Amino acid sequence: MKAIIFNSGLGKRMGEFTKTHHKSMAILKNGETILERQIRILGKNGINEFVITTGPFKEQLENVCKKFPNYKFHFVENKLYDKTNYIYSMYLARNYFDDDFLMLHGDLVFDEELVKSVIEDKRDSICLINEEKKLPEKDFKGRIINNKLKEVSINIFDDDCFAFQPFYKLSKNILLSWSKAVEQFVSSGNVGVYAENALNTILDSIEISVKSYKNNYIDEIDNLEDYSRVVKEIDEFEKSPNYENKQIIIDNYKNLNKIKDLEKSKDILIVCDKFLKDSFIIDYLKTYNLNLHFFTDFNPNPRYEEVLKGLEIFKDNKCTFIIAIGGGSAIDVSKTIRAFSNLNEQTNYLEQEISNSNIPLLAIPTTAGTGSESTHFAVIYFNNKKYSVEHDSILPNYVLLEPKFLESLPLYQKKSTMLDALCQGIESFWSVNSNDKSKEYSRNAIKLILKNYKEYINENKEVYRDILMASNFSGRAINISKTTAAHALSYKITSLYGISHGHAVATCLPYIWEYMIYNMDKVIDKRGKDYLEDIFSELDKMFNCESHIETINKLIGIYDEIGIKYTNVVNENDINLLTDSVNIQRLNNNPVCLNKNTIEKIYRKMI
């Protein structure tokens, strides 16, 4: 299946913007242009060949398409764009209609799940309506009889008419039938109407079925008012609890052949620790016809300069795919390379606004802890200062959860990474940013760990997959909610005393939890004290405890059971240093207010 995107119009109703830009160059809230978003979503759903009709600012459209080197583009220029409607562009593109097609207008903004559902629908020809939406005055309506399309027009308002969007899935035969009707219109000089006018003449002899988009998002941008509304609506839709930016998760390394982007790539950047260059996964990747380029020169706390070295390897070898193999550091480096890949190399990347990257990224975690493979942020250090690189587009496209990697983990690392996942699940559950979706992920993470931690520490391989999934759920949870005070207080402990990140977070969590229980009058979560009390009570149930303090003690008992020290960690001489190290702004996610004096007292309890 291929796609044709009609981008041949003037877009006069977009004001000053379209005097110098094509309408599809309008930027959405995540930094993508409309056209970038369309190609990214269509490509992610298996479309790799596009026909793009152009009118004004052809070079702008071509430059966007250059960001997708793995896809094939055919440009059809309508030089009469100011005198014709898109029916003439369809006429000019007719020689490319050699397959089934998705056909859409270039001013449409839609969500990924909608495209997936259209492509997976077994019916060969589909149009989109919304039976619940008020009929628009100025846009297309579709007349539907017996679940089949019978007319498309702006000027129909009858009871069998519904809101309609110009996004079609069409079989080759139906597209050719429509194309022949278009030819008849053009040959008679009728080029100032919609292509749907030609379609209407054949709808009694062909079948285009109807699909509802009422639970998805699709809308077009005709003018500045539409632009402001759609930018806001698609952002809110994708951040709603019921929407999830889907990753493709693979559960066995031998199923990597399911990754279509990998099949289309030749030069791959692999970011991993040096010892992993000889791992079974590399041996498997070598069975593909790929050129593998390795970047291994980074520290556990990756520095900006190290990321630049990896970016240089990526660009010098014209890589079109990135694979991260390792713990959080390798995955963070890969995410950051991806984020920097299309920015201005003459300026410090950290000073630039991240824009959408179209480079596919596969994350393969070799530990079960951070869940970094399912988050849209990464951490690097610049001039010894911690920076968070955050953007929706750096969320890996693909994740391989391969339990075999956990077999060689040192026992201490097993313990600490597992505790990191547990703490992330707990913190996300009470975070002020939590929602129904993040809490669902948190529950899954917490319950899987509580069920399997003993067997995992005793190295029962049968539970490794469950622990990997728990880690992944914890990552998905904090991807929505972010972490809270326990993480904020842990960072300096890690660097100062040489213990692992998960160990440091686990050390802080009981003290933070106890403080919050006894200071419920300082709740800053807008959902209130009663809401937070319910959250703590639900955590009690997950731990099978009768009270909040019993739950905390049970958590501490898990530390003792697996041999993780959580007391006498902090040196009294370091209290001021530790207190000053905490970024107070990072505590805004915590449901109970903490100030500098409180933080100092909590650290003193750790002595």
For 361, the enclosing helix (H) or strand (E) is strand 361-365
Asked if residues 133 and 214 have their Cβ atoms less than 8 Å apart, the reply is yes
Separation of alpha carbons 485 and 514, rounded Å: 12
Provide the residue ranges of all domains of the chain, joining segments of one domain with +: 2-238, 246-408, 413-456+475-607
Separation of alpha carbons 57 and 597, rounded Å: 59
Residues of the chain predicted below pLDDT 70: 241-245
Asked if residues 329 and 368 have their Cβ atoms less than 8 Å apart, the reply is no
- How high is the pLDDT of residue 188? 95
CA angle 218, 355, 315 (to 5 degrees): 125
CA angle 138, 143, 144 (to 5 degrees): 140
Rg (CA), the chain: 27
DSSP state for residue 292 in the 8-state scheme: E
- How high is the pLDDT of residue 13? 79
CA angle 99, 261, 251 (to 5 degrees): 120
DSSP state for residue 136 in the 8-state scheme: P
Q: What is the pTM of this model?
A: 0.78
Asked if residues 111 and 243 have their Cβ atoms less than 8 Å apart, the reply is yes
DSSP track, 369-394: SS-GGG-SEEEEEETTEEEEEE-GGG
- How high is the pLDDT of residue 310? 96
Q: Residue holding tokens 């579709």?
A: 142
- How high is the pLDDT of residue 300? 85
Strand stretches in 82-190, DSSP E: 101-105, 108-110, 126-130, 141-145, 148-153, 161-170
Separation of alpha carbons 235 and 526, rounded Å: 22
Residue 241 C-alpha from the chain's centroid: 14
The type of residue at 53 is T
Write down the CATH superfamily of domain 413-456+475-607: Dehydroquinate synthase-like - alpha domain (1.20.1090.10)
- How high is the pLDDT of residue 603? 94
User: Tokens representing 375?
Assistant: 């988050």
- How high is the pLDDT of residue 242? 65
CA distances from 208 to 168, 172, 203, 372 (A): 9, 12, 8, 43
Separation of alpha carbons 565 and 568, rounded Å: 8
Spelled out in words, what is the top-level CATH class assigned to the domain 2-238? alpha beta
For 540, the enclosing helix (H) or strand (E) is helix 528-542
Q: Residue holding tokens 């070799």?
A: 366
DSSP track, 389-445: EE-GGGS-SEEE--GGGGGGS-HHHHHHHHHHHHHHHHHHHH-TT--HHHHHHHHHH
- How high is the pLDDT of residue 68? 87
User: Tokens representing 362?
Assistant: 């596969």
- How high is the pLDDT of residue 205? 95
DSSP state for residue 367 in the 8-state scheme: S
Separation of alpha carbons 101 and 530, rounded Å: 54
- How high is the pLDDT of residue 586? 75
Kindly report the CATH number that applies to the domain delimited by 246-408.
3.40.50.1970
Q: The dihedral of CA 302, 307, 309, 315: what is its sign?
A: positive
